Structure 1
Amino acid sequence: MTEKRPEAPEQVIAARRKRLANQAEITSFAARGVLLVLLLCVIFGIVFGITPMKNNDMSPGIGAGDLLLYFRLENELRAQDIVVWEEAGTQYVGRIVAQGGDAVEITEDYRLKINGSVVIENNIYYSTPRYDSGVEYPLTLGEDQYFILCDYREGGKDSRYCGAVDRSEIKGKVITVIRRNNL
């Protein structure tokens, strides 16, 4: 029978140092993982948002299934900005066509008028019918109110359906579109 010899103190110390170094690496890795998760929560909870386009209300530019990345901290919204907004718990996407102080009218022959002038929209291929939703025209927008229309004007839910959209209802400005067929 062979007896097990006691290890030298240097070997015991080296083994303990190695074990402590491994534990420190694991702890450091876990801390970095937690920090990364917190950073992503802040970035996508406060600064940016991401949402899928649920329908074809913004076609042909944005199709159903495309992912929209939007910036939540945008202070200055302008006409032609595409925004994500929420009405009665439902999220919508649309294009701002008028802002505070503007008078908006949709004529009987399906034309969009802002401040008495017919708007010529080169990137919109559909007429803009009125909806029977109780919105009275001409509609004068108050401060921090926007009139938002979908690009696919025939059937999309937008300001023709629910009226002016307050700034507080706008979640953010769309900054990029990730096409579903590129994923």
Structure 2
Amino acid sequence: MKNTRKKEIWSWVRTLLIAGVIVFICRYFLFTPSTVLGDSMSPTLQNGNMVMVSKISDIHRFDKIIFHAPDADEDYVKRVIGVPGDSIEMKDDVLYINGKTYDEPYLKQNKQTLAGDEHLTNNFTLKDLTGKEKVPKDSFFVMGDNRQNSRDSRYFGFVSKSSVVGKVEFRYFPFNEIGGIE
């Protein structure tokens, strides 16, 4: 009877240890949960949204990423606008990347709140903001979707690849908005 109890306890301990190792590997190497703070990505992401961040996904233009803020002791969530080698210009609320115009459908709702001749994003060139013609190697140029209320690369410059926590893949709170994010 004593031997059976020891075997059962050892079975539980072993199961819990294996589960703990799996959670540790997933949490620190594959994905991590994060909470959105602030309104800079509104309406795409709202303050208090809880998201799952992939640490192993490749990052492409227009992906949403979480990174260690270069100007604060916190993490920011922003949209990647420029990847290494890109030249960027904003003119009359039209985004130009490498001389080509890009539609930004995620800004539509915010643009509808503007007065007739008002712009959501002020005119700029990458050179005006950073002194560089192109996004450097291992860096990203990021902006929030709520352009009038976002501390982003227009203020603090490029985001180094090494400061990126990961790519936002999935919203899991609030429950009525569970799923992928446009």
What is the TM-score when the length of structure 1 is the normalising length? 0.78
2:17 pairs, out of 34, 47, 65, with 34
Three-state SS of the structure 1 residue aligned to 2:147 is coil
Per-residue CA deviations over 1:20-40 (Å, capped at 9, x if unaligned) read 101210121012112212211
Specify whether residues 163 and 148 from structure 1 end up closer, same or farther in structure 2 by C-alpha distance, changes over 3 A only.
same
Equivalent residue runs for 1:88-167 within 5 Å: 88=70, 89-107=73-91, 109-125=92-108, 126=110, 127-129=120-122, 135-136=129-130, 139-167=133-161
* CA distance in 2 between partners of 1:93 and 1:117 (Å): 25
Question: Could you tell me whether the CA contact under 8 Å between 2:63 and 2:80 is conserved in 1?
Answer: yes
Opposite residue 166 of structure 1, the aligned amino acid is S
Per-residue CA deviations over 1:92-139 (Å, capped at 9, x if unaligned) read 1111111111111234x45433223443212213412369xx834674
What is the TM-score when the length of structure 2 is the normalising length? 0.78
* CA distance in 2 between partners of 1:28 and 1:120 (Å): 57
Three-state SS of the structure 1 residue aligned to 2:39 is coil
2:48 pairs, out of 52, 58, 65, with 65
For structure 1, list consecutive stretches of 5 or more residues without a partner in the other structure.
1-17
Structure 1 vs Structure 2 CA RMSD? 2.3
* CA distance in 1 between partners of 2:69 and 2:45 (Å): 20
> Which of structures 1 and 2 has the bigger CA Rg?
1
* CA distance in 1 between partners of 2:17 and 2:34 (Å): 24
Three-state SS of the structure 2 residue aligned to 1:26 is helix
How many residues align? The count is 162
Q: Percent identity?
A: 23
* CA distance in 2 between partners of 1:149 and 1:161 (Å): 10
* CA distance in 2 between partners of 1:44 and 1:68 (Å): 13
Question: Could you tell me whether the CA contact under 8 Å between 1:84 and 1:94 is conserved in 2?
Answer: yes
2:61 pairs, out of 79, 84, 95, with 79
**Paired residue for 2:27?**
44
Specify whether residues 137 and 151 from structure 1 end up closer, same or farther in structure 2 by C-alpha distance, changes over 3 A only.
farther
Query: 1:56 and 2:21 equivalent?
Result: no
2:165 pairs, out of 144, 166, 171, with 171
